[in-house]
Structure 1
Amino acid sequence: MYTSKLNRETDWNKIEAFMREFSFAMVVDTDEHGVPQATHLPLTLKQTPDGKYVLQGHIAKINKQWEYFGKQDTLVVFSTPHAYISSSWYEKDKIPTWNYMVVHVHGKTRILSEQELIQNLDDLMQHYEAASQHPVNLKDIDEKTLISNLKAIVGFEIEVRDINANYKLSGNKKDADFFNIIKHLREKNDQESHRIADEMEARRPVQDI
């Protein structure tokens, strides 16, 4: 992914938060013919005892993509929010564009052991069940059902090695256009436009004009 210096995010704390918030990612590998294979999966970001970061998840065993894990690098794409930017919001420019935030991660993938997979499933459920009125835990699943489901999935771990974070947020626009974009995004009735407006304003607060 091409990322200009202007749009490149390098603050690890911001990138980490983004990956955790938008954890339903696209996992891409290539098969033996060089054809890309992609699956959309929830991933858990973890830090290992030696300080490295990894992404853990699981995939249906019937999905043959797992057979290509480890043979070449895996690409993981974290994306959203995004918003259309109309050129009618500019004083002079006539070319519309799209603002977005996306993080690409490259790394080697390995298959998890059964115990590692069980731990990852437990972590996943605890995280996403936390907001539930009646949270369900892994221990609530009877052993027979759990074993049956474990046989149908493959756990994996991707070492986070190369990161490319592209935050295209109209950083090249002068203040008048920049803040007019924010104004129009806030007038739209969708959360993604509002989130993009928030991210833009965080980088160039109104009071700094």
Structure 2
Amino acid sequence: MYTPPAFRDDDPESLRATMRAARLANLVTATADGPLVTPLPLFLDESEGEHGVIYGHLAKANPQWRVPPVGEGLAIFMGPDAYVTPAWYATKEETGKVVPTWNYVTVHAHGPIEFFHDADRLLDAVTRLTNLHEGPRAKPWAVSEAPAEFIAAQLRGIVGLRMPISRLEGKRKLSQNRNATDRAGVAAGLATSERASDREVAPLIPS
């Protein structure tokens, strides 16, 4: 990932926070026939390995797990993002030398990929992923609420994914390359946007 120094995020906790907050990631594997990509809900087990281990699952009908990967896999976790109009820059009125851009937060996790079929491991991964997303609900649903034979049948239709993280790349492109006045204009513009995603980016702009 191309990351100018001003946008690089090397803070481990910041990287993990972005990964935890992302509700959907993209799993990318290079193959002899070209890249394969699948959008997946993934979760990070921070207790395993130096950088943690990523878990998830794919449909058994998905060919991605059958094609031998070339090198390591890549999981892309996207954080908040927003379009930035030049109209928010004070520099626009001063010189007119401005162009649009896009602000965003992302983490790229690299590592060797293991696909597994063991029913117990699959049940554990599915249960942990379900608990992660059901936890905040007022009345969380649990995998154990469904009939055991139904869950067993569902597990036969998926393949587990385990990816120990070998390397993390983080990028927070949040107008750090603009002057303080321009950054203030971006933050104010995003904060008053009708788009909820824009308002999510506003407080991330450095003052």
The normalised TM-score by structure 2 is 0.91
Taking the aligned partners of 1:22 and 1:116, their CA distance within structure 2 comes to 23
Taking the aligned partners of 1:49 and 1:103, their CA distance within structure 2 comes to 19
1:164-198 per-residue CA deviation (whole Å, 9 max, x = no partner) reads 11111110111111101111111101222112111
Contact 1:69 1:111 (C-alpha < 8 Å) held by counterparts: no
Could you tell me which runs of 5 or more consecutive residues in structure 2 were left unpaired when the two chains were aligned: none
Within 5 A, what are the aligned runs for 1:99-138?
Answer: 99-112=103-116, 113-138=118-143
Taking the aligned partners of 2:68 and 2:126, their CA distance within structure 1 comes to 19
1:43-94 per-residue CA deviation (whole Å, 9 max, x = no partner) reads 0100245555000000000001011366531111111311111112222332
Q: Which residue of 2 aligns with 1:197?
A: 202
Q: Does 1:84 align with 2:88?
A: no
Q: Which residue of 2 aligns with 1:17?
A: 17
**3-state SS of paired residue (2:66):** helix
Q: Which residue of 1 aligns with 2:31?
A: 31
Structure 1 residues 21 and 111, CA gap change in structure 2 (3 angstroms): same
Q: Which residue of 1 aligns with 2:63?
A: 64
Letter in 2 for 1:42: P
User: How many residues are treated as equivalent by the alignment?
Assistant: 201
Contact 2:72 2:113 (C-alpha < 8 Å) held by counterparts: yes
Q: Which residue of 2 aligns with 1:95?
A: 99
Letter in 1 for 2:145: D
Letter in 1 for 2:166: R
Q: Which residue of 1 aligns with 2:45?
A: 46
**3-state SS of paired residue (2:36):** strand
Which of 162, 165, 178 aligns to 2:183? It is: 178
